[in-house]
Amino acid sequence: MKNLLLFLARFQGLLVFGVLEVISLYLFVTSSSYQRAAFFNSANAYAGVVLARRTEVLDYFHLGALNQQLLAENARLRQQLYPPDTSRRQADSLAVPPAPGDTLRRPRYVRPAQRPDTLLLAQQRLAARDPNYPLVPARVINNTLRSVDNYFTLNVGLADGVRPGLGVLAAAGVVGRIKTATDHYATATSLLHSKTSVSAKIKRDNTFGSVHWPGDDPTQALLDDIPRQNKLVVGDTVVTSGYNAIFPEGVFIGTVASFVKEPDKNFWTVHLRLGADFSNLTYVYVVTNRTRPARDTVEARALPPAGKEGRR
């Protein structure tokens, strides 16, 4: 017993070192999982208050840039209020082929409501304000950019209807996903995180793939799972696919910057230029989803209990 105590006294530094390292590494390794509602993150009340105060101070110095950003966004929103060119151009009646028994072959006319003009339908804009995905406006009060796993903190929380797992948009595109939330603050995993993956599609031909960040350049990301036989064009728009219930369909992610065919892969290696500028992320929107529980239930019933592939 005495020897044991002597041993402990002699190596106390090493022992304490080992214990503390194990605790730290455990916290570090488990901090990436969505399920863990941890105390040790910037959404906790004390850190939230400090970060909010810091943002108040910094806000003052950013007023000019902020105004520009709001102005640009207002302009875009105002534009959405205008009806599209095609919306009021429907003909009162449409000609359809003659009835089969009509020997005079007279054209018939029908009202468009009964049989919509398919040409006009194709030009119609998609609903800009999808009522199934209400938005919660939020302010970014903390943001990292150049780590391998980046996070940002928002000034909204459970009280505003923010729940872990919801998507986060900025005016310029997808930016991340909520990881944990407390009453008034929430921490989100940025799109610039090694484990974030967003289901996406190329707008031109609806080929779907997934976007992830390789960990170096905060303005670029990779688009995976585009088969080699598909034609790609530099500048193609990449939007969310709507295949999961996190983002509505058609939210801008980025444009194709370059693509290469690698000899040993079945898929293109596509580099995207991200739409959102993560270096000055300020106002964002948390996407809540009304139909999500119903959708998740039906998908869980239909699919075998799959691993990560199903959760994208």
Partner 1 sequence: MKTVGLLLGQALRYVVYTLVHVFIISRLVLFDAGWCFFYLGFVLFLPLGTPVVVQLLLAFGMGLTMDIFYDTGGLHAAAAVLLAFVRPAVLRLLRPRDGYDAADAVNVHFMGPAWFLTFLGVLVLVHHLAFFLLELGSFRHFGFTLAKVGASWAFTCVALLIVQLLFFPVRRLRQ
Among 2, 5, 13, 81, binds partner 1 (CB under 8 A): 13
Among 6, 7, 8, 20, binds partner 1 (CB under 8 A): 20
201-230 residues in contact with partner 1 (CB under 8 A) are 215-216
**Per CB under 8 A, 6 contacts partner 1:** no
Closest CA to 244 of 204, 211, 272: 211
Question: In whole angstroms, what is the distance from residue 48 CA to residue 186 CA?
Answer: 9
Which residue type does 279 have? S
**Per CB under 8 A, 50 contacts partner 1:** yes
Question: In whole angstroms, what is the distance from residue 117 CA to residue 98 CA?
Answer: 17
**Per CB under 8 A, 67 contacts partner 1:** no
Please report how the helices 63-81 and 45-61 are oriented relative to each other, as an axis angle in degrees rounded to 10: 90
Q: Tell me the window of 43-51, 96-104, 251-259, 283-291 that interacts with partner 1 (CB under 8 A).
A: 43-51
* Contact mark string toward partner 1, 140..169, x via CB under 8 A: --x-xxxxxx-x-x----------------
Cβ closest to partner 1, residue 46 vs residue 82: 46
Q: How far is CA 88 from CA 91, 174, 265, in A?
A: 9, 32, 49
Query: Which residues fall within 8 angstroms of residue 174, CB to CB, at 6 or more apart?
Result: 167, 168, 191, 198, 240, 247, 251, 252, 253, 275, 276
- Tokens 């599609």 locate to 201
**Per CB under 8 A, 59 contacts partner 1:** no
Give me Rg for the CA atoms of the chain.
26
Closest CA to 259 of 207, 189, 312: 207
Among 54, 115, 265, 311, binds partner 1 (CB under 8 A): 54
**Per CB under 8 A, 182 contacts partner 1:** no
Among 69, 182, 187, 210, binds partner 1 (CB under 8 A): 187
22-41 residues in contact with partner 1 (CB under 8 A) are 23-32, 38, 40-41
Binding-site ranges for partner 1 (CB under 8 A): 12-13, 16-17, 20-21, 23-32, 38, 40-42, 44, 47, 50-51, 54, 57-58, 142, 144-149, 151, 153, 187, 194, 215-216
